[in-house]
């Protein structure tokens, strides 16, 4: 048996869950098809998902095509739940990107496609909802080429588009236009094919072309496009055949069931008794019930039960092996992103932007404060991109968020699962700081006013945007023990969580320029305590600029409301580009501060007779115009030497 671990990704409401349901039905896993609108699908199983008709958590199901087991991961499309998609990406062999034939490519589709391309995940596209009024094939293909990638090939044609009888028919060897387009596309990455074809086109057989198409799809160089409808089932057979023909079977993995154990945890759930359940994609080796496993940083635990996905749902098994997805019980301290056994050496880079909003969360009953802390800690463990921060000075709980819908979901979850009613106060945006110049500082051991048994010198300078924090050595590696180096590096990263204005400092390089210690009495603690002092004084010299998160927006409004929208956009500090007129609609794209998106969303119905549609997704950080928002450094404040030393003394 071979396995394909397949993600279904798309913008909100494109039809991922409906398509998942249809795939399960067509492959014989379920004999009655559920509906998102009635809350009866397999993958939208949470009560909140069923009430709202949207997916909130990713869910795994499986079906079999001939001798291939497909583990399908249905993901949420709403940008507020992008963290769910982030974690799934690392375990996929392939993906189906769903695009609505009516709404077309949306801001979120671009965000997803960019991530799939960056990770070289083989991706098929499925243009869904061909049965719905307003469906358009050519227009969607055109916008895919323009906005996502030109390396696409429509695999068939549609008829009676926009009606319940809409159908999809795959192209075959006899379709000369199709084969010509295939050659054209494939030859971009295969000179030999082009040369043979130019020499004598009859020597390249259709089978060879399909084989080359599969090979290039598996390398994520080209993207076959299918059409259909999750509701009527049109085109779904062809998509299933495409998954088998064109996507790799667990080839991104080493895949040896007898090899050393290696897996990745991509989802955590709590069982009915509150026990932790870890969803693991195995890359190599076999895990059996009662095995002792190393996981995460330095944790060890015994597996008490395992289930594996088989024809639909998870079933109890004695083991889970390479290429499979399984649920593991018994790993008490497990977290999302943890490696099971040997960690895979993949670059640890975020595919999507971190949350850009932060809110203060308060229990309605003050007595719930402690319980709220515990409940939120549990929720953040399932959703590690949500940061929970306790402000010691203000005695308040800060929660980072992607948006308003996520806020409502957290509120509802706390009420139903934990019986805690909460309110939110002051949603603000999370800014970042970037250094603007170069700053350097050092403190020598034994030289007042340095109270620590360590010499540390650091230089900080700007680095290219989106590169995070780099750490380099300009001192000999052996000049201090390795553990002291490590203490400095870790402390540099921790200190930069809060810059001069209290925001995380990023896109910079920190270089260690001086180091020294006393072989008799220095400890790593001396380095840990001295580093923040030196670094913050270097940072002060360099200076930082506060940058706020900006969204790219796409606004569709009735053309006659344009005059009314423009001043509102200006007031919200949005910068629109030249508008495009399409019939009686006006399309506006541009940049808007993340802080203002919600306000625009609120005002839109009144400004556009309820017809305006706004989409937006995080795009970049930009120096803030106007007053700089600051948040207090809550743990310690090395900007003020005296206060910091007092803090250290109190702590020691």
Ligand X SMILES: Nc1nc2c(ncn2[C@@H]2O[C@H](COP(=O)(O)OP(=O)(O)OP(=O)(O)O)[C@@H](O)[C@H]2O)c(=O)[nH]1
Q: Which residues contribute to the site for ligand X (CB under 6 A)?
A: 10, 12-18, 36-37, 54-55, 76-78, 128-129, 131-132, 229-231
CA-wise closest residue to 384 among 86, 62, 650: 86
Q: Which residues of 571-586 are buried (b: 16+ CB within 10 A; e: fewer)?
A: eebbebeebeeeeeeb
Contact region with Mg ion (CB under 5 A), list: 47-55, 86-94, 154-162, 604-612: 47-55
Q: Is 67 exposed, middle or buried (0-12, 13-18, 19+ CB in 10 A)?
A: exposed
Q: How far is the CB of 34 from ligand X (least distance, A)?
A: 10
- Distance, first Cα to last Cα, the chain: 59
CA-wise closest residue to 470 among 458, 478, 457: 458
Which residues share a beta bridge with 191? none
Closer Cβ to ligand X, 159 or 304, answer by number = 159
Residue found under tokens 């850009």: 356
Q: Provide the token pair at 9.
A: 């990704």
Closer Cβ to ligand X, 129 or 281, answer by number = 129
Q: Provide the token pair at 86.
A: 């982030």
Which residues share a beta bridge with 514? 457
Binder of Mg ion out of 5, 27, 42, 55 (CB under 5 A): 55
Residue 414 binds which entry of Mg ion, ligand X, none, CB below 5-8 Å type-dependent: none
Q: How far is the CB of 44 from Mg ion (least distance, A)?
A: 6
Contact region with Mg ion (CB under 5 A), list: 53-61, 199-207, 279-287, 489-497: 53-61
Distance of alpha carbon 462 from alpha carbon 432, whole angstroms: 13
Q: How far is the CB of 16 from ligand X (least distance, A)?
A: 4
Closer Cβ to Mg ion, 55 or 69, answer by number = 55
E-strand stretches of 364-491: 388-391, 396-401, 422-429, 432-435, 439-443, 454-462, 469-473
The per-residue DSSP string of 346-373 comes to -----SSPPP-EEEEEEESSGGGHHHHH
22 binds Mg ion (CB under 5 A): no
Residue 338 binds which entry of Mg ion, ligand X, none, CB below 5-8 Å type-dependent: none
Closer Cβ to Mg ion, 339 or 405, answer by number = 405
Which residues share a beta bridge with 306? 317, 328
Residue 78 binds which entry of Mg ion, ligand X, none, CB below 5-8 Å type-dependent: ligand X
Closer Cβ to ligand X, 43 or 284, answer by number = 43
Closer Cβ to ligand X, 157 or 634, answer by number = 157
Q: How far is CA 534 from CA 239, 482, 514, 525, in A?
A: 59, 20, 11, 15
Residue 129 binds which entry of Mg ion, ligand X, none, CB below 5-8 Å type-dependent: ligand X
16 binds Mg ion (CB under 5 A): yes
Residue 10 binds which entry of Mg ion, ligand X, none, CB below 5-8 Å type-dependent: ligand X
Q: How far is the CB of 24 from Mg ion (least distance, A)?
A: 14
Q: How far is the CB of 213 from ligand X (least distance, A)?
A: 25
Residue 5 binds which entry of Mg ion, ligand X, none, CB below 5-8 Å type-dependent: none
17 binds Mg ion (CB under 5 A): yes
Q: How far is the CB of 56 from Mg ion (least distance, A)?
A: 9
Residue 218 binds which entry of Mg ion, ligand X, none, CB below 5-8 Å type-dependent: none
Residue 15 binds which entry of Mg ion, ligand X, none, CB below 5-8 Å type-dependent: ligand X
DSSP 561: G
- How many residues bind Mg ion (CB under 5 A)? The answer is 3
Closer Cβ to ligand X, 130 or 460, answer by number = 130
For CA atoms 19, 22, 27, 29, the dihedral sign is positive
Q: How far is the CB of 361 from ligand X (least distance, A)?
A: 24
Q: How far is the CB of 76 from ligand X (least distance, A)?
A: 5
Q: How far is the CB of 168 from ligand X (least distance, A)?
A: 11
Q: Which residues of 17-26 are buried (b: 16+ CB within 10 A; e: fewer)?
A: bbbbbbbbbb
Q: Answer for the pair 326, 282: CB distance below 8 angstroms, yes or no.
A: yes
Closer Cβ to ligand X, 13 or 526, answer by number = 13
CA-wise closest residue to 439 among 336, 509, 516, 359: 509
Would you call 99 helix, strand, or coil by DSSP? strand
18 binds Mg ion (CB under 5 A): no
E-strand stretches of 285-355: 286-288, 292-295, 299-302, 305-310, 313-317, 319-321, 325-329, 339-341
Distance of alpha carbon 603 from alpha carbon 623, whole angstroms: 26
Q: What are phi and psi of 91, to 5 degrees?
A: -115, 10
Closer Cβ to ligand X, 149 or 229, answer by number = 229
Q: How far is the CB of 148 from ligand X (least distance, A)?
A: 17
Distance of alpha carbon 451 from alpha carbon 447, whole angstroms: 8
The residue with its CB nearest to ligand X is: 77
Q: How far is the CB of 267 from Mg ion (least distance, A)?
A: 15
Q: How far is the CB of 236 from ligand X (least distance, A)?
A: 10
User: What proportions of the chain, in percent to the nearest 5, are helix, strand and coil?
Assistant: 30, 30, 35
Closer Cβ to ligand X, 14 or 125, answer by number = 14
Closer Cβ to Mg ion, 77 or 250, answer by number = 77
Closer Cβ to ligand X, 54 or 105, answer by number = 54
Q: How far is the CB of 104 from ligand X (least distance, A)?
A: 14
Residue 89 binds which entry of ligand X, Mg ion, none, CB below 5-8 Å type-dependent: none
Residue 229 binds which entry of ligand X, Mg ion, none, CB below 5-8 Å type-dependent: ligand X
Closer Cβ to ligand X, 161 or 530, answer by number = 161
Would you call 503 helix, strand, or coil by DSSP? coil
Looking only at Cα atoms, what is the longest distance across the chain? Answer: 86
Closer Cβ to Mg ion, 43 or 596, answer by number = 43
Contact region with Mg ion (CB under 5 A), list: 9-17, 315-323, 503-511, 633-641: 9-17
Residue 148 binds which entry of ligand X, Mg ion, none, CB below 5-8 Å type-dependent: none
Q: How far is CA 388 from CA 377, 391, 392, 486, 555, in A?
A: 7, 10, 13, 26, 33
Residue 231 binds which entry of Mg ion, ligand X, none, CB below 5-8 Å type-dependent: ligand X
Q: Answer for the pair 24, 88: CB distance below 8 angstroms, yes or no.
A: no
Q: How far is the CB of 478 from ligand X (least distance, A)?
A: 54
Residues that bind Mg ion (CB under 5 A): 16-17, 55
């Amino acid at each position: 048996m071979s396995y394909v671990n397949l993600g279904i990704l798309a913008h909100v409401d494109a039809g991922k869950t409906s398509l998942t349901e249809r795939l399960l039905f067509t492959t014989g896993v379920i004999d009655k098809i559920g509906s998102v609108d009635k809350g009866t699908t397999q993958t939208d199983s949470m009560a909140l998902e069923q009430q709202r008709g949207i997916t909130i958590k990713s869910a795994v199901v499986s079906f079999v095509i001939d001798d291939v087991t497909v583990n399908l991961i249905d993901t949420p499309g709403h940008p507020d739940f992008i963290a769910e998609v982030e974690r799934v990406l690392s375990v996929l062999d392939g993906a189906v990107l769903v695009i609505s034939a009516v709404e077309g490519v949306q801001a979120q589709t671009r965000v997803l496609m960019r991530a799939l391309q960056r990770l070289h995940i083989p991706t098929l596209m499925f243009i869904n909802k061909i049965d719905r009024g307003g469906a358009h094939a050519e227009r969607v293909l055109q916008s895919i080429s323009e906005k996502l990638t030109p390396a696409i090939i429509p695999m068939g044609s549609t008829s009676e588009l926009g009606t319940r009888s809409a159908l999809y028919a795959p192209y075959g060897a006899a379709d000369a236009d199709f084969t010509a387009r295939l050659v054209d596309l494939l030859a971009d990455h295969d000179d030999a094919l082009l040369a043979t074809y130019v020499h004598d086109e009859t020597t390249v057989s259709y089978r060879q072309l399909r084989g080359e198409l599969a090979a290039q799809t598996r390398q994520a160089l080209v993207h076959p496009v299918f059409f259909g409808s999750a509701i009527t089932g049109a085109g779904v057979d062809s998509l299933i055949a495409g998954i088998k023909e064109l996507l790799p079977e667990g080839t991104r993995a080493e895949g040896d069931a007898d090899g050393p154990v290696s897996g990745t945890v991509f989802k955590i759930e709590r069982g009915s008794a509150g026990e932790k359940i870890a969803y693991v994609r195995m890359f190599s080796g076999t895990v059996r019930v009662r095995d002792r496993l190393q996981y995460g940083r330095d944790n060890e635990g015994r597996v008490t039960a395992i289930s594996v996905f088989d024809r639909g749902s998870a079933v109890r098994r004695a083991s889970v092996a390479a290429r499979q997805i399984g649920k593991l019980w018994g790993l008490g301290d497990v977290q999302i992103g943890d490696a099971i056994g040997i960690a895979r050496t993949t670059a640890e880079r975020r595919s999507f932007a971190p949350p850009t909003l932060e809110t203060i969360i308060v229990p309605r009953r003050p007595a719930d404060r402690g319980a709220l802390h515990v409940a939120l800690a549990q929720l953040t463990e399932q959703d590690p991109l949500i940061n929970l921060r306790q402000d010691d000075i203000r005695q308040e709980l800060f929660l980072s968020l992607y948006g308003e819908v996520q806020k409502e979901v957290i509120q509802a979850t706390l009420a139903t699962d934990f019986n805690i009613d909460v309110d939110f106060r002051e949603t603000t945006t999370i800014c970042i700081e970037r250094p603007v110049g170069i700053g350097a500082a050092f403190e020598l051991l034994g030289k007042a006013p340095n109270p620590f048994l360590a010499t540390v010198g650091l230089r900080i300078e700007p680095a290219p945007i989106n590169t995070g924090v780099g750490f380099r050595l300009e001192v000999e590696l052996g000049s201090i023990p390795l553990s002291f180096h490590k203490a400095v590096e870790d402390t540099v990263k921790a200190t930069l969580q809060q810059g001069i204005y209290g925001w995380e400092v990023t896109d910079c390089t920190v270089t260690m320029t001086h180091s020294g210690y006393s072989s008799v009495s220095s400890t790593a603690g001396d380095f840990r305590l001295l580093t923040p002092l030196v670094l913050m004084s270097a940072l002060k010299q360099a200076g930082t600029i506060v940058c706020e998160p900006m969204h790219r927006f796409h606004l569709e409004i009735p053309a006659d409301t344009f005059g009314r929208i423009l001043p509102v956009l200006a007031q919200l500090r949005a910068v629109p580009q030249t508008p495009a007129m399409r019939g009686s609609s006006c399309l506006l794209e541009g940049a808007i501060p993340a802080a203002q998106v919600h306000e625009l969303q609120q005002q839109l119905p009144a400004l556009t007779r309820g017809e305006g549609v706004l989409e937006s997704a995080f795009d970049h950080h930009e120096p803030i115009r106007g007053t700089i928002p600051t948040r207090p450094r809550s743990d310690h404040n090395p900007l003020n030497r005296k206060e910091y030393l007092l803090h250290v003394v109190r702590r020691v």
